[in-house]
Chains A and B, each alone.
Chain A
């Protein structure tokens, strides 16, 4: 490619390139826009732009009403005939909206209440309207357990019990106490934090270490000797005769085992009913076991809650008078228990509270 010929920069072409025609183009744009939109708005006076409509100055609402008031010709024709009922095209809105109904109800309630008395309270279950509850998904609150809230003490816990029932209850109380004692005695002993004994002096420690070392060495020697024997065995030679013999023996063994398998199989086939019976029996046993377990679980739930936290529920001791405390007089009844503890334990027993072991300090 040859070089482009150099031309002089002076001349018409260069001139045109350097003059901007933007302002002219802007003017043309503007003028065309104005022409299209109907005149220059900035130049127009206010009167030209806005004018106040005074002729039919009706509010929107009235306008709509006016529109409603107009009677269609078809309707007017029908109106002339007294036997024809007009069916209105649009339903008039009911004046009582939901809100007003609710308000009215409340007002009525208020009035009722005011008539009855001047208290702040309202009858919660006065209107047995179920509508409110139907929307509630948790309509039925399940009780956490089947244990009743207030368990009545057995007859032996009476302040003046019969001798027999009292003895019964005493026996139970004693059994409870003894159980605690036995648990302490028979349970595993806690690991002691310190062991008493003499301190080992330096010479003895040295001897101890020596003993350990000698044992280790002996072990090492044994290992070495075994390894040697194994190495010797691997190098033993096998002749063809021996190999054949071995193969024959292997084949024989295989044949025997096959025969045995066959026998076993045939035996199993013949004893199929027996096996089926056994399976059935096992199933039944399992089923029984499962049932027993569920029943046992339910029984346990009757006397104590499920394990809900870190600690197990511990039943409170039976509240029964000792034989010497039985006076037969209400006045001399020994004050031995607070009901607060009983309530607290009952809450724990019913699984409402999580049993805890924390005992507060004063």
Chain B
């Protein structure tokens, strides 16, 4: 009988030499070529590792033996081999000038599916959501790339990416799950919250996405292949939770006008209400004007049934009720954020992004162009988004603002005043919602202004209208997060004093006890202290605080003390940094003045 684990002569039994193999060894072991190996690794989620001891040298890539064994047992490997042999057949037929056979063979090519692998890598839906960032970013990127023969990027795949990204956006905006938006130089960052998972993705600016030489697009396309199927399964699941049929059937006219997102939202609206939109097959063939009338009519119906605009559709409300119970506080806020506002987008504004963001926060949008829900001359439009130095014809009934206003409003969660975002002005800085100002220590001016406005907005709701205005003008108060009213603050201060006094007393008593232990009894001391305290409570409190600090430092274990010191050093550094920024700012101001 052969031994259980046969080990060839000269092969290492243990240690890094046995546990890791180089990439070329892995290739030999699996009997595949490099391309296929890369593909398998990407699809299967296996990555190179760094062993402690690189037995073959520093210039090799190492894989764990178990990872390779895992690949070895992959049924897909066999499938890939099958495909390879099939390709050879086709090649042979072509070489023999047997075109007919080649064509026939090409029609019956073996294909493979990745669903099993997705299930394997993401056993639960939450796992898949957790790892969605990269997937979404990649799909959004390839949705705007031009199709290219050289990079083997087909038109079909670009369209598929576009479709998938729109489906995702439609779901997010329908469920009002979007939380943050940040426009950076690279692109637009979005953050949504789904099932408790924060999903961040980056979409490119539509301008100038090109193929560059320093990027291996073959690898990216392999990733994309996996991500496409992953996202489609996720979309399927998400749409089914909304009771919407998954591969959505879109209005071909809207699709042709590149308004997929709008078409999708309409589809979802319609089908979640139980009335399935019949796909219009002969949209182009039938008379155009009649068609438009028809669609407008239906559109009007739909608009009526929209819960945000008209709470008339009782049936729909009943159906929606149980859903709303599940919604958390934030979703409710997001849902009714732009509730009574109607937006119109100018031609030069980034339409895709705003069409996604505005409905996600409950706003109604239209745009310049065919297929739009309402025209520019609609009287009920409240905001006109424009990105030109000057608008031509201006309606008095609406406000003309730059697109940044929307992003800033969304991030601040209040409707900001529009004066600063008027046409032709340079808008205030666009702040990143992903930066935690408190943790950073430095709060930019505009952030502080926004904070004040937020506080004001909250104060309106509070039953103390008289205090609110004072509150705003008092700069000292802003230090306390600008939320507390003055009366409250005074109360808090008094409380603090009392607490400090009590603490002091307690400490004195403790000291007394200690002294008693040493058989030195001092009487009346505490009375004197108490008396003096009444006069200078704040001072004493401060002193006491310092004393307490010193005491607690002394009583700490050495480890803790060191940690404490390290923390202090860190804080000092942070303060220095903040100081530096402030200094720079003052310098800048001086230069500008």
| Docked-complex contact A148 and B133, CB < 8 angstroms | yes
The answer, among B245, B426, B581, for a CB contact under 8 Å with A116, is B245
Q: Considering the chains assembled together, what is the distance between the CA atoms of A149 and B350 in angstroms?
A: 25
Stretch from B4-12, B183-191, B358-366 at the A interface? B183-191
Q: Does A281 contact B (CB under 8 A)?
A: no
| Docked-complex contact A330 and B350, CB < 8 angstroms | yes
Q: Considering the chains assembled together, what is the distance between the CA atoms of A167 and B591 in angstroms?
A: 14
Q: Considering the chains assembled together, what is the distance between the CA atoms of A331 and B201 in angstroms?
A: 22
| Docked-complex contact A336 and B185, CB < 8 angstroms | yes
A-chain residues with CB within 8 Å of residue B321 when the two chains form the complex: none
| Docked-complex contact A340 and B212, CB < 8 angstroms | yes
| Docked-complex contact B123 and A139, CB < 8 angstroms | yes
Q: Considering the chains assembled together, what is the distance between the CA atoms of A161 and B200 in angstroms?
A: 21
- Given A155-B432, A339-B186, the answer on whether A360 and B213 have CB atoms closer than 8 Å is yes
B-chain residues with CB within 8 Å of residue A347 when the two chains form the complex: 219, 223
- Given A336-B185, A344-B220, the answer on whether A160 and B427 have CB atoms closer than 8 Å is yes
Q: Does B110 contact A (CB under 8 A)?
A: no
Interface pairs (23), CB distance under 8 Å:
A121-B247, A123-B240, A125-B237, A132-B119, A139-B123, A149-B137, A152-B432, A155-B431, A163-B585, A163-B588, A164-B585, A165-B444, A167-B584, A307-B58, A330-B402, A333-B205, A333-B207, A336-B185, A338-B211, A338-B212, A344-B214, A347-B223, A360-B214
| Docked-complex contact A337 and B585, CB < 8 angstroms | no
Q: Considering the chains assembled together, what is the distance between the CA atoms of A327 and B429 in angstroms?
A: 11
A-side residues, CB < 8 A to B, are: 116-117, 119, 121-126, 128, 130, 132-133, 136, 138-139, 141, 144, 148-150, 152-155, 157-165, 167-168, 306-310, 319-321, 327-331, 333, 335-344, 346-347, 351-354, 356, 358-362
Q: Mark B178-217, 1 if CB is under 8 A from A, else 0.
A: 0000111111010000000000111011011111111111
Q: Considering the chains assembled together, what is the distance between the CA atoms of A356 and B133 in angstroms?
A: 24
| Docked-complex contact B137 and A158, CB < 8 angstroms | no
| Docked-complex contact B208 and A359, CB < 8 angstroms | no
B-chain residues with CB within 8 Å of residue A320 when the two chains form the complex: 185
| Docked-complex contact A155 and B445, CB < 8 angstroms | no
- Given A149-B133, A321-B185, A329-B402, the answer on whether A125 and B444 have CB atoms closer than 8 Å is no
B-chain residues with CB within 8 Å of residue A328 when the two chains form the complex: 404, 426-427
| Docked-complex contact A141 and B121, CB < 8 angstroms | yes
A-chain residues with CB within 8 Å of residue B207 when the two chains form the complex: 333, 335
The answer, among B137, B233, B387, for a CB contact under 8 Å with A150, is B137
Q: Considering the chains assembled together, what is the distance between the CA atoms of A302 and B548 in angstroms?
A: 38
Closest residue on chain A to residue B45 by CB atoms: A141
A-chain residues with CB within 8 Å of residue B213 when the two chains form the complex: 359-362
The answer, among A128, A144, A343, A353, for a CB contact under 8 Å with B138, is A343
| Docked-complex contact A339 and B50, CB < 8 angstroms | no
The answer, among A152, A155, A161, A339, for a CB contact under 8 Å with B209, is A339
| Docked-complex contact B220 and A340, CB < 8 angstroms | yes
Q: Mark B23-65, 1 if CB is under 8 A from A, else 0.
A: 0000000000000000000100101111000000011111000
Q: Does B125 contact A (CB under 8 A)?
A: yes
Q: Does B265 contact A (CB under 8 A)?
A: no
| Docked-complex contact A158 and B200, CB < 8 angstroms | no
Q: Considering the chains assembled together, what is the distance between the CA atoms of A163 and B444 in angstroms?
A: 9
Q: Does B435 contact A (CB under 8 A)?
A: yes
How far, in Å, is A316 (CB) from chain B's closest CB?
10
A-chain residues with CB within 8 Å of residue B125 when the two chains form the complex: 125
How far, in Å, is A155 (CB) from chain B's closest CB?
4
The total of chain B residues at the interface (CB under 8 A) is 87
Q: Considering the chains assembled together, what is the distance between the CA atoms of A155 and B120 in angstroms?
A: 38
Closest residue on chain B to residue A327 by CB atoms: B426
Q: Does B80 contact A (CB under 8 A)?
A: no
Q: Does B134 contact A (CB under 8 A)?
A: yes
Q: Does B232 contact A (CB under 8 A)?
A: yes
A-chain residues with CB within 8 Å of residue B62 when the two chains form the complex: 308
- Given A340-B141, A340-B145, the answer on whether A138 and B212 have CB atoms closer than 8 Å is no
The answer, among A309, A343, A361, for a CB contact under 8 Å with B137, is A343
- Given A121-B236, A164-B444, A330-B404, the answer on whether A340 and B211 have CB atoms closer than 8 Å is yes
Q: Considering the chains assembled together, what is the distance between the CA atoms of A65 and B444 in angstroms?
A: 91
| Docked-complex contact A341 and B58, CB < 8 angstroms | no
| Docked-complex contact B134 and A353, CB < 8 angstroms | no
Nearest first, the 3 closest Cβ-Cβ pairs linking A and B are: A335-B208, A306-B50, A149-B134
| Docked-complex contact B246 and A162, CB < 8 angstroms | no
A-chain residues with CB within 8 Å of residue B223 when the two chains form the complex: 347
A-chain residues with CB within 8 Å of residue B200 when the two chains form the complex: 148, 150, 152
- Given A161-B429, A341-B215, the answer on whether A351 and B47 have CB atoms closer than 8 Å is yes
| Docked-complex contact A340 and B403, CB < 8 angstroms | no
Q: Does B70 contact A (CB under 8 A)?
A: yes
Closest residue on chain B to residue A128 by CB atoms: B124
| Docked-complex contact B208 and A150, CB < 8 angstroms | no
Q: Considering the chains assembled together, what is the distance between the CA atoms of A128 and B59 in angstroms?
A: 44
| Docked-complex contact A157 and B185, CB < 8 angstroms | yes
Q: Does B355 contact A (CB under 8 A)?
A: no
| Docked-complex contact B348 and A331, CB < 8 angstroms | yes
| Docked-complex contact B246 and A339, CB < 8 angstroms | no
B-chain residues with CB within 8 Å of residue A353 when the two chains form the complex: 219
Q: Considering the chains assembled together, what is the distance between the CA atoms of A158 and B348 in angstroms?
A: 20
Q: Does B579 contact A (CB under 8 A)?
A: no
Q: Does B430 contact A (CB under 8 A)?
A: yes
Q: Does B419 contact A (CB under 8 A)?
A: no
Q: Does B564 contact A (CB under 8 A)?
A: no
B-chain residues with CB within 8 Å of residue A344 when the two chains form the complex: 214-216, 219-220
| Docked-complex contact B588 and A330, CB < 8 angstroms | no
Q: Which of A125, A128, A153 has the most CB of B within 10 A?
A: A125
A-chain residues with CB within 8 Å of residue B83 when the two chains form the complex: none
The answer, among A125, A132, A158, for a CB contact under 8 Å with B432, is A158
How far, in Å, is B138 (CB) from chain A's closest CB?
6
A-chain residues with CB within 8 Å of residue B220 when the two chains form the complex: 340, 343-344
Q: Considering the chains assembled together, what is the distance between the CA atoms of A338 and B122 in angstroms?
A: 30
Q: Considering the chains assembled together, what is the distance between the CA atoms of A310 and B54 in angstroms?
A: 12
Q: A150-B133, A163-B429 are in contact. List 16 more A-B contacts (CB 8 A).
A: A117-B246, A119-B247, A125-B125, A136-B120, A149-B131, A149-B133, A168-B581, A330-B403, A335-B207, A335-B208, A339-B187, A341-B214, A343-B137, A343-B141, A360-B214, A362-B213
The answer, among A116, A327, A333, for a CB contact under 8 Å with B185, is A333
How far, in Å, is B26 (CB) from chain A's closest CB?
13
Q: Does B506 contact A (CB under 8 A)?
A: no
How far, in Å, is B43 (CB) from chain A's closest CB?
12
| Docked-complex contact B444 and A133, CB < 8 angstroms | no
| Docked-complex contact B186 and A319, CB < 8 angstroms | yes
How far, in Å, is A175 (CB) from chain B's closest CB?
14
Q: Considering the chains assembled together, what is the distance between the CA atoms of A329 and B388 in angstroms?
A: 9
CB within 8 Å of A: which B400-446 residues: 402-404, 426-427, 429-432, 434-435, 442, 444-446
B-chain residues with CB within 8 Å of residue A153 when the two chains form the complex: 182, 184-186, 189, 432
A-chain residues with CB within 8 Å of residue B236 when the two chains form the complex: 119, 121, 123-124
A-chain residues with CB within 8 Å of residue B208 when the two chains form the complex: 335, 338
Q: Considering the chains assembled together, what is the distance between the CA atoms of A237 and B36 in angstroms?
A: 86
The answer, among B47, B70, B349, for a CB contact under 8 Å with A144, is B47
